[in-house]
Amino acid sequence: MDFLEAARSLEGTPFHWHQRVPGPTGGIDCLGLVIAAMKLSNNLAQDFDFRDYGNNATNLKQMFLTMGSPYFNEVTQAESGDVVILKIKGRPRHLGILDSDTLIHAHMLHGVMLDHWDRWLPRTDSIFRLK
C-alpha cells in the first residue's frame, strides 16, 4: 500500500486530539493521519512522539523541518501525495494530504474526511514531499 492509499484507507476514522489509533474505533488528529499513513505504507521507521507539537504558530512547520527531515523535503509546488501545512486564523495550525483535487484531513467534527482542495489552497503555508 502506498502513502496515498494508506491515507485514503483512514477515511472515517474519528477525530481525537493527539491520537494515532487508526480505524473506526480509534481516533487521530491531523498529524496522526500523516503518521498513520506513513506507518501503514511502511514509510516510518520508528514511532515518533509528536504529542507536544501544540497549537503554536511555528511548531507544526518547525517539526517537519527538523524531526520530519529524514522523511520529507520542503517543496514549493504541491502535487498528489504531498503533506500540506495549512493556516487557520492566519497561523499554520492544520495539515492534510493532497490527493489530486482532494485534501485528506482530520476534521474535529467529521474525523478523517475528503474535502475540496480548492477550498484549502488559499490557506497553504508550506508543502512537504515524502522522500
The domains located in the chain, with CATH, are 3-130 (3.90.1720.10)
Mean pLDDT of 4-23: 84
**Residue 31 burial (10 A CB sphere; 0-12, 13-18, 19+):** buried
Provide the pLDDT confidence category of residue 70 given band limits of 50, 70 and 90: confident
Residue 54, pLDDT score: 52
pLDDT at 86 over 70: yes
CA distances 42 to 3, 10, 46, 113, 130, Å, are: 8, 15, 10, 22, 12
Residue 57, pLDDT score: 43
pLDDT at 92 over 90: no
Tell me which amino acid residue 98 is. L
**Torsions phi, psi for 6 (to 5 deg):** -65, -45
Report whether 13 contacts 28 (CB < 8 A): yes
Residue 22, pLDDT score: 64
CA nearest to 6, candidates 59, 42, 51, 53: 42
Residue 26, pLDDT score: 79
pLDDT digits (tens, 9 = 90+) for 19-63: 667 666 778 888 889 988 988 898 875 555 555 555 554 567 877
Global pTM reads 0.88
- Residue 121 or residue 60, greater confidence: 121
Question: What is the residue whose three cell numbers read 512547520?
Answer: 61
Provide the pLDDT confidence category of residue 127 given band limits of 50, 70 and 90: very high
